Amino acid sequence: MATILITGCSTGIGFATAELMARNGHTVYATMRNPQRAPELGQLAERDNLPITIFPMDVDFDESVSTAVAEVLAQAGQIDVLVNNAGIGPLGPVEEAPLSDFHAIMQTNYFGTLRCIQAVLPAMRERNAGCIINISSVAGKLYSPYHSAYCASKAAIEALSECLAGEVGPLGIRVALVQPGVIDTPIIDKNEPIASDTKYPNQIRLRAYLGASRDNNIPPSTVAEVVQAIATGEQTMFRNPVGADAGPLLGWRGSLTDEDWIASAGLDEETWIGGMAQLGADVRPYLTIS
C-alpha cells in the first residue's frame, strides 16, 4: 500500500479520491486550506476508521506547502504519490474579468501545483521512486470563449507536466495527467452571476453548457477511480480523459481547424443548441439564467 498526499480535499474530486484511496488500504494525507470549515472528511474517516490524516495546507503559499510536506515526511517517512487537485475556476470575458482573477487562478491552479511538485521531488528523487498525478481538465486542450483564465491555467499544467515527465522519468518517477470533463462538483456553484452591464451576453452559453453537462451527474468518484488506477499502475497512459463528455469534446476539437473552432463561437443560437445536444447537453433551459 502507498502513502498518498492529496491537495484540495474539502469537497469534490479531492474528497472522493481521499475516501477511495483510504478504503482501498492506502495511507492518505488529505490537505485543504481550512479543515475547520470542512470537517466532513475528518468525520467520515473517524466514523469508518479510514487511514486518512488531514493537514491544513494552502497551495498559494510556499511556507504552507513546505511545512505540510515536511510534516507528512516526518510522520510517514515517504510520499509515494502526490495528487495535485486543488483548483479554482472563475468564468468571464477577457476584457471584463478583473486582472486579480487571472492572478488568483494561476496562483492556485498552476503555481500551487508547481509548489507541491517542487516540495515532494527531492525525497522521490532520492528514492528513485514516486508518482505525481496532476488534475488538469479538457479545458487544458480545449480553449472556450469566456473561460480564458481557467483554460490558461490548465494549459500551463499540461505543458509543465509533459516537460516534468521527461525530466524525472529516467529517475524512476512517473508523471500523469487526468483530464476531467464536466464533473458534478461545487466548483460550478462558485461562479459570480453575469454582470447586468456586460458587453458579452454570449457568455451565457458557457454557463448553460456547464449547467446542462452537470445534469449528466458524473460524480467525482469517477475521477477518483482513474486516479487510483494511475497510482497503482493499472493505468499507464500519460493523459487520461475522464467523464462521458471528455472524449467527445476532445475529439470534436481535434476534428476542427483552429479557424473553424474559433468561428464556432459565432454560430446562431439554434445551431449552437443543436450542436450541444449532439454532445449530450440540453442547454436550452439554462439560456435564460442570469
**Which residues participate in catalysis according to the annotation?**
10, 136, 150, 154
Complete DSSP assignment for 121-180 = HHHHHHHT-EEEEEE--GGGT---TTBHHHHHHHHHHHHHHHHHHHHHGGGTEEEEEEEE
Distance of CA 238 to the CA centre of its chain: 15
Distance in angstroms (rounded) separating the CA atoms of residues 58 and 31: 8
Report residue 135: phi and psi, to 5°: -80, 105
**Whether the Cβ atoms of residue 88 and residue 152 lie closer than 8 Å to each other:** no
CA 123-125-126 angle, 5° bins: 65
CB atoms within 10 A of CB 255: 9
Nearest residue to 242 (alpha-carbon basis) of 175, 152, 182 = 182
Rounded Cα distance, 116 and 29, in Å: 13
In sequence order, what DSSP letters do the residues of 217-283 get, joined into one string?
---HHHHHHHHHHHHTTS---SEEEESTTHHHHHHHHHHS-HHHHHHGGG--HHHHHHHHHHTT---
Give the integer Cα–Cα distance in Å for 260 and 266: 10
3-state secondary structure of 82: strand
Q: How many residues does the chain have?
A: 290
